[in-house]
Structure 1
Amino acid sequence: MDRIAIDRRADILGLIDIQPTFMPGGELAVPDGDAVVAVANRLLADRFDHAFATQDWHPAGHHSFASAHPGRAPFETIRLAYGDQTLWPDHGVQGSPGAALHPALDQAKIELVVRKGFRPAIDSYSAFFENDRTTATGLAGYLKERGFRRIFFAGLATDFCVAYSAEDAVRAGFAAVVVEDACRGIGMPAEGGGTTIDAARRRLKALGVRFVTTAALG
C-alpha cells in the first residue's frame, strides 16, 4: 500500500461519534467499537496536530428511535418527510453518559465538537449535513476558513456516520481518507448482497475516497 505523507497544516483528523453509546455495553453497540479509541489516540499523538469530533446528541423521543413509533422495532425502515429512515434503539441521548465523548479519548487536539441529530424530527449521520441533506452543520465553512484541505476519518460506524461524513467531505471540496483500522462498522445486510460496509466502500471509492491503514500514514 502506498504511503501518505501527513501535512500537519492542511490535514485534519475527523473523529466520528467515538462515544460509549456505540461501544460494547452501549445502547447501539458497534462490534469491537471500543477498539477505535486507542488507535485514534495514537493518531492524535503521532500524526495529527488538528482534530474535530462529532457527537450524536439526540433529545429523548427522537424521531429516529423505534420507541417513538408504537409497533415498530429497531432496524426497521420507515418513510419520513426527508426519505427512508432506519429506526434505531434509543442512543446518544443528550446528557447521558453514553452520549459523551469516550472518557479515554485524548481531547487535547480536538478544536471543534459538532453535535448532530439534536433536531427532534431529523436524524443525522454526516458531520456536514442532517439527513434531510439540506440542513448544514457549518463544518465545511469552518474547515475551509481554517485552511484545511484533506480530512482523515476515524470512528464509528464505517458504514453509516463515517461513510456519510466522508462522502459529504468530497462533495464539499475536500480530499477524504478513511483510516480503516481506526474505524469499525455495523455490517447490516445490504440490498444486492453483502453488507452495508461493502456497499459503503464501493460508494466511497467511486467518489475518490481513499482507504488506508495507520501503517500507511507517514
Structure 2
Amino acid sequence: WHPKDHISFFENKHSRAFHPSSKVSAQDARVLDTVVFCDPCSESGCVEQTLWPSHCVQGSWGAQLHEDLRLADKALKIYKGDNTDVDSYSAFWDNARRFETSLHSELRNRGITTVFVCGLAYDICVAFTALHALELGYGTILVESASCGTSEEAEEKMKRRLQDQLCLIVDSSEVSDLVSGKKRPWQLGVQLAKASAPQMC
C-alpha cells in the first residue's frame, strides 16, 4: 500500500541523496539494483534499498485485490509499506523495525496461534512475513502453490532458509486438513515448543 513517492520505486531514485557507500550511482542504478540512500533517521545514517518498479500504489488498480478473491466474513485488511521512507517486506514490521503494523495485536486479540501465509512475492513479502510469524511464536505454514516468487532461484534459496527455521511449506490441497486438525505435522509441534520454551524458564 505504497505512496507514489515510496523509497523502493526505481522511478523515485533521483528524489533521495545517495550515500557515498553506495556501489551503484543514481545515474547507473537499474531496476533490481541494491543502492544505499542517506537516511538521517537511522543510526548508520544510511539505508540499503533494492529498487523495484512502481507497484501497489495507494488507490491504484495495482493495489486492488483480484475480483475473484473471496474474502471471509469480517475479513480484516492490514496495510503495510505506507511509510514513504522505509520499505516493508513483512506484514508485521517495516524493514528497519521502526514501525509495527497492527497484525500481531489483531491476531493475539482473536486468539489466533497458527497462520497460513501466501501471495506475492514468495521470496520477499511472503517469506519475511513467515519468518517474523515464526519469531513471534506462531505456528507458521506457507502455502507454496498460492505464492509466486521473483525468480525460481530466489524462491528456492528462500525456501531453504524457511525450512531451516522449520516453517511448514505445503500445497493448497493440504490446507483443509491442517485447518481441521486432521493433519498435524511435526514441524508445528517443534514451532510450538520453541515458542513456549522462554515462558517455561
What TM bracket, shorter-length normalisation?
Answer: 0.7 to 0.9
Residue 131 of structure 1, CA deviation = 1.1
TM-score, length basis structure 2 = 0.73
User: Residue 67 of structure 1 contacts residue 73 of structure 1 at CA under 8 Å; is this kept in 2?
Assistant: no
Show the counterpart of 2:32: 75
Alpha-carbon distance change, 110 to 196 in structure 1, aligned in 2, over 3 angstroms: farther
| Code of the aligned partner of 1:153 | V
Matched, 1:181 2:139: no
Match of 1:161 in 2: 125
Structure 1 position 110, deviation (Å): 5.7
2:53 aligns with one of 86, 89, 95: 89
Matches within 5 A, 1:1-218: 57-70=1-14, 71=27, 72-80=29-37, 81=39, 83-109=47-73, 111-187=75-151, 195-217=153-175, 218=177
Computing the radius of gyration over CA atoms, which structure comes out larger, 1 or 2? 2
* Percent of pairs with identical residues: 37
User: 2:181 corresponds to which residue?
Assistant: none
Q: Runs of 5+ in structure 2 lacking a partner?
A: 15-26, 178-201
Q: Which has the higher contact order (CA 8 A, sep 6+)?
A: 1
**Partner Cα distance (2:103, 2:132) in 1:** 11
| Separation of aligned partners in 2, 1:61 and 1:92 | 12
TM-score, length-scaled by structure 1: 0.67
Provide the alpha-carbon RMSD of the alignment: 1.6
Give every structure 1 segment of 4 or more consecutive aligned residues whose post-TM-superposition deviation is greater than 6 Å. none
1:97 Cα deviation after fit? 1.0
How far apart are 1:168 and its partner, in Å?
0.4
Structure 1: segments with no counterpart, 5+ residues? 1-56, 189-194
Indicate if the aligned counterparts of 1:59 and 1:93 stay in contact, CA closer than 8 A: yes
Q: Secondary structure at the match of 2:77?
A: strand
Q: Distance in 2 between matches of 1:134 and 1:69?
A: 22
* Cα distance between partner residues in 2 of 1:142 and 1:172: 13
> Once the 2 structures are TM-superposed, how far is the Cα of residue 178 of structure 1 from its aligned partner?
0.7
Q: Distance in 2 between matches of 1:182 and 1:130?
A: 23
* Larger strand share, 1 or 2: 1
Task: Return the offset for 1:216.
Answer: 2.4
CA deviation profile, 1:50-99 (whole Å, cap 9, x unmatched):
xxxxxxx1111211111111333211101244642110111111111111
What amino acid sits opposite 2:162 in the alignment? L
How many corresponding residue pairs?
Answer: 156
SS in structure 2 of the partner of residue 92 of structure 1: coil
> 1-side partners of 2:13 and 2:124: how far apart?
22
- Partner of 2:129, secondary structure, is helix
Contact 1:114 1:139 in 2 (8 A): yes
Asked if structure 2 preserves the Cα contact closer than 8 Å seen for 1:166 and 1:176, the reply is yes
Given that residues 155 and 184 in structure 1 are in contact (C-alpha distance below 8 angstroms), is that contact kept between their aligned partners in structure 2? yes
**How far did residue 105 of structure 1 move?**
0.9
Residues of 1 paired with 2:161 and 2:105: CA distance? 24
